[in-house]
Amino acid sequence: MKKVITVCPYCGSGCKINLLVKDNKVVGAEGANGVTNEGALCLKGYYGWDFLNDTKLLTPRLRQPLLRRQRGAEFEAVSWDEAISFAAGRLKEIKAKYGPDSIMVTGSSRGTGNESNYIAQKFARAVIGTNNIDCCARVCHGPSVAGLMVTLGNGAMSNSIPEIEDTKCILVFGYNAADSHPIVANRIIKAKEKGAKIIVCDPRYIETARLADLYLPLKNGSNMALVNAFANVLINENLYKPDFVANYAEGFEEYKAAVAKYTPEYVADITGLDPDLIREAMRMYAAAPTATILWGMGVTQWGQAVDVVKGLSSLATVTGNLGRPNVGVGPVRGQNNVQGACDMGALPNTLPGYYPVSDAQARDRFAKAWGIAALPAENGIGITEVPHKIHEGRLKAYYIFGEDPLQTDPDVNALRAELEKLELIIVQDIFMTKTAMIADVIFPATSWGEHENVFSSADRGFQRCYKAVEAQGDVKDDWEIHSLMATAMGYPMKYNNAQEIWDELRGLCHLYTGATYEKMADLGYVQWPCPTEDHPGTPWLYKGFTFDTPSGKARLFGTEWRPPLEKVDADYPLGLCTVREVGHYSCRSMTGNCSALQTLADEPGFVQIHPDDARTYGIKDQSLVWISSRRGKVITRANINERVNKGAVYMTYQWWIGACNALTADHLDPISKTPEYKFSAVKVEPIADQNWAENHVKQTYGKMKADMRKAALA
Amino acid sequence: MNRFVITEPSKCIGCRTCEVACAMAHPLDEDTALTPQNFSPRLTVQRIGSITTAVMCRQCDDAPCAKACPVNAIVFAHDSVQVVQSRCIGCKSCVVACPYGAMNVVNVTAPAQPQTFFASRRAKSEAQKCDLCIDRADGQACITACPTNAIRLVDQSVMTATLQRRRELAAQSLDSKTQF
């Protein structure tokens, strides 16, 4: 038995794992002594690897290229030559007929790695000639990147995960660490044991609320009002640091004016919070010698998300909680490599290394390195704009790489109707997925564990994953597939291994230049910026209180609160908020194929509902119920739960039957284009015939699995 | 004093890693991976009101399960309460007696009997509870796996140290001039 070092392919905590390998098969996982996890793992880390062995519990691994010559026809297995020539030929035709911007490409924030994301965006920009590349940061921490880029100059966590346990106050805002990052939750527990004060702002009584010194159960959709009120208290009670603001920040007078009317009394109705509780929270936060703000999807998946991120960043700025150890702002990234996909430029507005596509000098440098005349200068479109652009007739082809938008994007029924209008859908994945089922071409790729790569953890840490097993079947590494496509489209691209790609990348990006494969060997951890090879990397940003904004100062920001776009009414009286559960990840193509994780939770998932609401709507605990919005209707199981607030219900987003994204709306934040997953008006109805409902779920699920198995094994 | 495993609710995040670790350490069927059918952890995570914690056997020194067992299948051994599965008849008296809900009767597939003429596999009832992973070289699986170190083994020395700490705290809380 050998041990192979890797990084967990699930959340962004960056936990190092030793995979136990016997006869080319992974047989176990144990915690390795990584910087962020220090030997600990969580449920998914310990038991989330057996999908590699093609358990076929949910869907089969893809083993061969598949082609559908006509819409509605069956898939047929074809050679790589035929699949590539078909897909490249069609893409070339579409590009010639409609122009490069009629093609959309995704990066993948999941198990594939940084090298393949770099190649995917190079394929989009250099081969197709478009900035239409995006990744699921758009539906996740896109607002954090957009907001923090403006206020501080970097879209990432300012400080490191290990520092969380040495801060003296943690303000947790819309972030359920226990379910999304158990290893970060552990740091919060350790901080508490070391005497830190914990403040939790969340409508649900989440696990961290149990150990909070102050718990602020704000109403769903009132974030901006609360953040403004926090600022109002800091300023009016002179809790902020005027010297820090004078020397290192800008825009204070506008900020002060913007939050002036947001007194705790003014927001009491909006937030549902006692004004004194709001004051107490800011007195506690400002009094701490070091304080850290952590946030998650509870901040970003709203129609007003970028504004709230800027507001939270401003709280850290005015209290001087930036530019030193154990402080800062922490948007804790959800998917294991969503930080990396952004780092690699799988975004429509930035090149690798966060050079804006509008930066002519950077474009020239990349164009020269890539041997092309020029790179596109206009921002591309984001994945959430895809259905609209198809509707307008401007998008004709979609090359989807390691994503399952028909499971994870909002309003999936409307999305499906639009995707079906495309002239070409290419899916590159390791599993058959809902989205792959409607593809014209499917490229089967190697999985995490079957190739080597670098991941970026949530705190900007580059780490290496080694190859544990040889992939089975006729599959290729993602970067090799993109290279074959590029070559077939007339741009010869060839790499011998991932390291060649990595070295090309770091030669082009000053933030990453010093992060060599050698430095990242074994348990090595290099946090960007790492500008030279003798540089150790940067655990915390903004040394000397110099920010990476054009002026070098931190920008302060407050603005009017906007309520959620959709309103509850008599027909749809409850607000649906989509959330996470610890045992499943993303669209569940990986975790659903892991025996232990699938054992703990399976279809049709749950809707969490407060006991009073359950009584009002006649819902019994554990019964199957209908839940519907203006966009769709699905069956799920009721979980009557006194930890959720009245008037709101909560569902996790990975289920096929209980698919909450059939209910969600694609109301987008105006800046980051992130959907308002956290608020859709819904109703919940009991089902009288539970036997029928149980059978219906079983049969529907069985049929979906059978159809996908048949398609994958064509 | 019997040893026991206990969870500190202040550190538990309700992630159920311990349940899976326990089920994998005590497989009902050696040959297959976990399924909803064979998933039978000997501790269960409870998330109720303001408490989140894993509940399991307390290894009572005066164990009601042992008293209730009509066939003396529950015995004191290795500073703990253990079930002698060969004696268990699956009557569930112990399940009813346990105040912690920590005992569970499950049907397992008994190994084939090599001596018998019909060497077939047969069903067997077992009363299952936390056995402190007594046969596991690496100790208690739940303790090793818990990502927040919320689960601990309490033995005589830990109990003595805890009691001493409490006594010291109690003494410190008294005024030196206190008279009773």
What pLDDT score was predicted for residue A580? 94
Which of A372-376, A710-714, B1-5, B94-98 is predicted least confidently? A710-714
Instruction: Mark B10-48 as b/e (b = at least 16 C-beta within 10 Å).
Output: ebbbbbbbbbbbbbbbbebeeeebbeeebbbbbbbbbbe
Q: How far apart are CA A67 and CA A484, in angstroms?
A: 16
Residue A273: pLDDT band (50, 70, 90) is very high
Which among B20, B50, B51 is the nearest to A596, CB-wise?
B20
Q: How far apart are CA A43 and CA A182, in angstroms?
A: 9
- Predicted complex ipTM: 0.94
- Determine contact: B18 vs chain A, CB below 8 A: no
Classify A15 as helix, strand or coil.
coil
What pLDDT score was predicted for residue A296? 96
Tell me the per-residue pLDDT of A313-351, one tens digit each, with 9 for 90 and over: 999 999 999 999 999 999 999 899 999 999 999 999 999
- Determine contact: B71 vs chain A, CB below 8 A: no
Q: How far apart are CA A165 and CA A121, in angstroms?
A: 36
Tell me the per-residue pLDDT of A368-398, one tens digit each, with 9 for 90 and over: 999 999 999 999 999 999 999 999 999 999 9
Q: How far is CA B70 from the centre of its chain?
A: 21
Omega prior to A529 cis, within 30 of 0: yes
Q: How far apart are CA A572 and CA A680, in angstroms?
A: 9
Q: Which one of B17, B43, B144 would you mutate to disrupt binding with A, by most A Cβ within 10 Å of its Cβ?
A: B17
- Nearest by Cα to A239 from A275, A288, A300: A288
- Determine contact: B45 vs chain A, CB below 8 A: no
Q: How far apart are CA A351 and CA A343, in angstroms?
A: 9
Q: How far apart are CA A129 and CA A111, in angstroms?
A: 26
- Nearest by Cα to A682 from A563, A580, A570: A570
CB contact under 8 A, A183 and B39: no
Q: Which residues from chain A sit within 8 angstroms of residue B41, using beta carbons?
A: none
CB A403 within 8 A of CB A346: no
Task: Report strand pairing: A624-628 vs A526-527.
Answer: unpaired
Closest CA in chain A for residue B8: A189
Closest CA in chain A for residue B11: A189
Residue A714: pLDDT band (50, 70, 90) is confident
CB contact under 8 A, B10 and A211: yes
Other C-beta atoms lying within 10 Å of the C-beta of residue A250: 18
Burial degree of A55 (CB within 10 A; 0-12, 13-18, 19+): middle
Q: Which residues from chain B sit within 8 angstroms of residue A29, using beta carbons?
A: none
Rounded to a whole number, what is the distance in Å from the CA of B25 to chain A's nearest CA? 13
Omega prior to A604 cis, within 30 of 0: yes
CB contact under 8 A, B39 and A43: no
Task: Report strand pairing: B44-48 vs B51-55.
Answer: antiparallel
What pLDDT score was predicted for residue B28? 86
Q: Which residues from chain A sit within 8 angstroms of residue B24, using beta carbons?
A: 596
Residue A188 has, within 13 A of its CA and on its CB side, a CA count of 32
Please check the confidence at residue A261 and state whether its pLDDT lies above 90: yes
CB contact under 8 A, B15 and A189: no
CB B34 within 8 A of CB A595: yes
Please check the confidence at residue B118 and state whether its pLDDT lies above 80: no
Rounded to a whole number, what is the distance in Å from the CA of A213 to chain B's nearest CA? 13
Closest CA in chain A for residue B35: A599
What pLDDT score was predicted for residue A502? 98
CB contact under 8 A, B13 and A50: no
Please check the confidence at residue B120 and state whether its pLDDT lies above 70: no
Which among B13, B35, B145 is the nearest to A46, CB-wise?
B145
Task: Report strand pairing: A554-555 vs A249-250.
Answer: parallel
> Vertex A515, ends A290 and A158: CA angle to 5°?
20
**Alpha helices, H only, A334-422:** 338-343, 360-370, 386-391, 405-408, 412-419
Query: In the 3-class helix/strand/coil scheme, how is A106-161 assigned residue by residue?
Result: ECCCCCCCHHHHHHHHHHHHHHHCCCCEECHHHHCCHHHHHHHHHHCCCCCCCCCC
User: CB-based contacts of A691: which residues, under 8 Å, 6+ apart?
Assistant: none
Q: Which residues from chain B sit within 8 angstroms of residue A595, using beta carbons?
A: 33-35
For residue A654, CA distances in Å to A58, A598, A663 come to 12, 12, 13
Task: Identify the contact set of chain A against chain B, taking CB-CB distances under 8 A.
Answer: 40-43, 45-47, 50, 55, 177-179, 182-183, 185-186, 189, 205, 207, 210-211, 582-583, 595-596, 599-600, 602, 642-643
DSSP-derived letter for residue A38 is T
Burial degree of B115 (CB within 10 A; 0-12, 13-18, 19+): exposed
CB contact under 8 A, A583 and B24: no
Q: How far apart are CA A227 and CA A68, in angstroms?
A: 51
Given its phi and psi angles, is residue A195 left (phi above 0), alpha (psi -120 to 50 degrees) or beta? left
Tell me the per-residue pLDDT of A531-550, one tens digit each, with 9 for 90 and over: 999 999 999 999 999 999 99
Q: Which residues from chain A sit within 8 angstroms of residue B36, using beta carbons?
A: 599, 602
- Determine contact: B29 vs chain A, CB below 8 A: no
Burial degree of A607 (CB within 10 A; 0-12, 13-18, 19+): buried
Please check the confidence at residue A400 and state whether its pLDDT lies above 70: yes
- Determine contact: B31 vs chain A, CB below 8 A: no
Question: Average pLDDT in the A586-598 region?
Answer: 96
Question: Average pLDDT in the B60-65 region?
Answer: 97
What pLDDT score was predicted for residue A334? 87
Q: Which one of A207, A597, A603, A698 would you mutate to disrupt binding with B, by most B Cβ within 10 Å of its Cβ?
A: A207
The pTM (predicted TM-score) of the whole model is 0.95
Rounded to a whole number, what is the distance in Å from the CA of A588 to chain B's nearest CA? 17
Which among A43, A45, A183 is the nearest to B16, CB-wise?
A43
Please check the confidence at residue B119 and state whether its pLDDT lies above 60: no
CB contact under 8 A, A186 and B10: no
CB A147 within 8 A of CB A141: no
Q: Which residues from chain B sit within 8 angstroms of residue A164, using beta carbons?
A: none
Please check the confidence at residue B113 and state whether its pLDDT lies above 90: no
Two tokens at A310? 């800027």
Please check the confidence at residue B114 and state whether its pLDDT lies above 60: yes
Which among B13, B49, B51 is the nearest to A178, CB-wise?
B13
Residue A613: pLDDT band (50, 70, 90) is very high
Which among A42, A602, A642 is the nearest to B49, CB-wise?
A642
CB A450 within 8 A of CB A471: yes
Residue B111: pLDDT band (50, 70, 90) is low
Task: Report strand pairing: B151-154 vs A249-250.
Answer: unpaired
Q: How far apart are CA A618 and CA A558, in angstroms?
A: 43
Please check the confidence at residue A564 and state whether its pLDDT lies above 70: yes
- Nearest by Cα to A599 from B24, B100, B108: B24
User: CB-based contacts of A125: which residues, under 8 Å, 6+ apart?
Assistant: A131, A133, A351, A366, A370, A375, A376
Beta bridge partners of A404: none
What pLDDT score was predicted for residue B30? 75
Closest CA in chain B for residue A640: B48
Average pLDDT, chain A: 97
Rounded to a whole number, what is the distance in Å from the CA of A243 to chain B's nearest CA? 39
Tell me the per-residue pLDDT of A454-513, one tens digit each, with 9 for 90 and over: 999 999 999 999 999 999 999 999 999 999 999 999 999 999 999 999 999 999 999 999
Q: Which residues from chain B sit within 8 angstroms of residue A596, using beta carbons?
A: 20, 23-24, 33-34
Q: Which residues from chain A sit within 8 angstroms of residue B145, using beta carbons?
A: 41, 46
Q: Which residues from chain B sit within 8 angstroms of residue A46, using beta carbons?
A: 17, 20-21, 145
CB contact under 8 A, A595 and B17: no
* Phi, psi of A179, deg, nearest 5: -90, -30
Q: What is the dihedral of CA B23, B27, B31, B36, to 10 degrees?
A: -50
Closest CA in chain B for residue A601: B36
> Percentage of residues in chain B with pLDDT exceeding 90?
80
Which among B49, B50, B147 is the nearest to A183, CB-wise?
B147
Q: How far apart are CA B57 and CA B104, in angstroms?
A: 11
Tell me the per-residue pLDDT of A202-218, one tens digit each, with 9 for 90 and over: 999 999 999 999 999 99
Rounded to a whole number, what is the distance in Å from the CA of A392 to chain B's nearest CA? 45
- Nearest by Cα to A134 from A467, A402, A440: A402
Angle between helical axes of A498-508 and A360-370 (0-180°, round to 10): 150
CB A287 within 8 A of CB A166: no
- Nearest by Cα to B1 from B55, B62, B66: B62
CB contact under 8 A, B17 and A183: no
Q: How far apart are CA A202 and CA A218, in angstroms?
A: 6
Tell me the per-residue pLDDT of A3-30, one tens digit each, with 9 for 90 and over: 999 999 999 999 999 999 999 999 999 9
Q: Which residues from chain B sit within 8 angstroms of residue A582, using beta carbons?
A: 13-16
> Vertex A531, ends A528 and A536: CA angle to 5°?
65
**DSSP-based helix, strand, coil % in chain A, nearest 5:** 35, 15, 45
What pLDDT score was predicted for residue A592? 97
What pLDDT score was predicted for residue B31? 72
Which among A178, A205, A211 is the nearest to B15, CB-wise?
A178
Closest CA in chain A for residue B37: A599
Burial degree of A154 (CB within 10 A; 0-12, 13-18, 19+): buried
CB A81 within 8 A of CB A65: no
Q: How far apart are CA A255 and CA A315, in angstroms?
A: 11
Which residues 140-159 on chain B approach chain A with CB closer than 8 angstroms?
145, 147-149
